[in-house]
């Protein structure tokens, strides 16, 4: 009887910890709750270790994620998989064993807030393996340096170096990649890097080969407005909470963590911040850039007076290499055909939607693929044990778009 009582108490405590009120439209909410409970456990353990001075929270979090997810490169009957380098950057390469002699090529940047994850994780390995087989394409998944040891522009420079090498005649010839059919892609922070690389290399007239398409999966693209409708609507929706995204930004930009409350309040982009021009603000004006069904009842949160001087302390907030949404139209007009995936229950939804609008206004052909039941990170949860319906659908449609456009 006593054991049953203890069991019931523990079960109730576990259910209380796992349960989280979620929007009614989110895909398979119990799976998302379980996933979130796992992530919260990892993050809380990391925060405790950080507070005790045992190690940086990111280091422990990455160790735990790696222990669960990172796998060795192994080939199968359809795909040859090896760990190599690309422009000096560690990269996992996926090569189809059959199909046409001349392959399509995709360079892929993983997500993780510029601080977590790896292309060697099981979820990314499975994604790239499926892409290689279904597209008859060579996929190169890049392991750029991570925060806190690396801060902006280190991750960007790694992504750029790997991309330049990917487009080089030597690499294209070595892996039998068709120079007319190459793509840059990534999810979340990796989508940020993919967008920034696409902008830079599209404007580089010294390159003989350029990307044919860019495919951005729920990309993070700006750090000046943390009160877009999607940030307001989804601030407490897993797996990417609003404060966590702000923390990722501060780590990436090498800024003091004490600035977190200022960014969360939009004090860093108040109207008395002289470094932010009216033209820059127009690029973030979601009241004109978003369709009505996304704006809903939300109102802009723009402070008249805030904390002027934050931008001078953290100039990368205004650097287009870190915040591709701030790019000029003349730069965007030279970028390739784009695919932009967004999810309704994601704080980054409006970053992607506004970027798609900017690209369209610049004359770029854009496919905007929105998932009404989607949440941040859903596409990499297309496989067991955390397989989700929206994960499978989004991955299938992403690969289908590449097949039809690359």
Q: Hey, which residues are catalytic here?
A: 188, 346, 376
Residue 88, phi-psi category: left (phi > 0), alpha (psi -120 to 50), beta (remainder): left
Euclidean distance between CA atoms 255 and 232, whole angstroms: 24
Residue 257 DSSP class: G
Question: DSSP assignment, residue 63?
Answer: H
Task: Give the pairing of strands 79-86 and 89-96.
Answer: antiparallel
Nearest to 219 by CA among 328, 122, 322: 322
Task: Work out the burial of residue 202: count CB atoms within 10 Å of its CB; fewer than 13 is exposed, 13-18 middle, 19 or more buried.
Answer: buried
* Contact present, 137 and 106 (Cβ < 8 Å): yes
DSSP annotation string for 126-194? HHHHHHHHHHTEEEEEE----TTTS-TTHHHHHHHHHHHHHTSHHHHHHTTEEEEEEEEEEETHHHHHH
Mind giving me the DSSP string for 83-103?
EEEETTEEEEEEEESSS-SSE
Q: Which two tokens stand for residue 209?
A: 């080969």
Burial category of 13 from C-beta neighbours within 10 Å (exposed 0-12, middle 13-18, buried 19 and up): exposed
């Amino acid at each position: 009887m006593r054991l049953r009582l203890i069991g019931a108490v523990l079960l109730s405590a576990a259910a209380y910890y796992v349960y989280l009120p979620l929007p009614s439209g989110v895909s398979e909410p119990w799976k998302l709750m379980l996933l979130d409970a796992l992530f919260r456990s990892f993050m809380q353990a990391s925060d405790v270790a950080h507070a005790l001075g045992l190690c940086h929270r990111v280091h422990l979090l990455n160790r735990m994620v790696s222990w669960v997810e990172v796998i060795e490169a192994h080939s199968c009957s359809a795909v040859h998989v090896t760990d190599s380098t690309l422009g000096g950057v560690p990269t996992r390469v996926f090569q189809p064993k059959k199909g046409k002699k001349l392959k399509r090529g995709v360079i892929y940047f993983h997500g993780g807030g510029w601080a977590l994850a790896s292309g060697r994780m099981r979820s990314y390995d499975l994604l790239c393996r499926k892409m290689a087989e279904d597209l008859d394409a060579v996929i190169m998944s890049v392991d750029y340096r991570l925060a806190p040891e690396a801060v902006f522009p280190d991750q960007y420079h790694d992504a750029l170096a790997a991309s330049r090498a990917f487009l080089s005649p030597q690499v294209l010839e070595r892996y039998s990649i068709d120079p007319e059919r190459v793509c840059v892609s990534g999810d979340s922070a990796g989508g940020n890097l993919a967008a920034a690389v696409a902008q830079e290399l599209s404007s580089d007239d010294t390159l003989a080969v350029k990307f044919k398409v860019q495919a951005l999966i729920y990309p993070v693209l700006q750090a000046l407005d943390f009160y877009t409708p999607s940030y307001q609507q989804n601030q407490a929706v897993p797996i990417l909470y609003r404060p966590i995204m702000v923390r990722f930004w501060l780590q990436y930009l090498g800024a003091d963590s004490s600035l977190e409350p200022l960014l969360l309040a939009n004090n860093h982009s108040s109207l008395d911040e002289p470094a932010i021009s009216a033209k820059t603000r127009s690029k973030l004006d979601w009241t004109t850039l978003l369709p009505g069904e996304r704006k809903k009842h939300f109102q802009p949160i723009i402070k008249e007076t805030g904390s002027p001087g934050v931008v001078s302390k953290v100039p990368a907030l205004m650097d287009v290499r870190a915040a591709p949404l701030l790019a000029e139209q003349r730069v965007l007009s030279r970028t390739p055909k784009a695919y932009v995936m967004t999810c309704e229950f994601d704080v980054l939804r409006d970053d992607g939607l506004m970027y798609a609008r900017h690209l369209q206004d610049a004359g770029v052909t854009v496919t905007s693929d929105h998932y009404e039941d989607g949440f941040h990170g859903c596409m990499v949860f297309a496989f067991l044990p955390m397989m989700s319906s929206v994960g499978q659908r989004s991955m299938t449609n992403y690969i289908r778009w590449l097949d039809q456009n690359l």
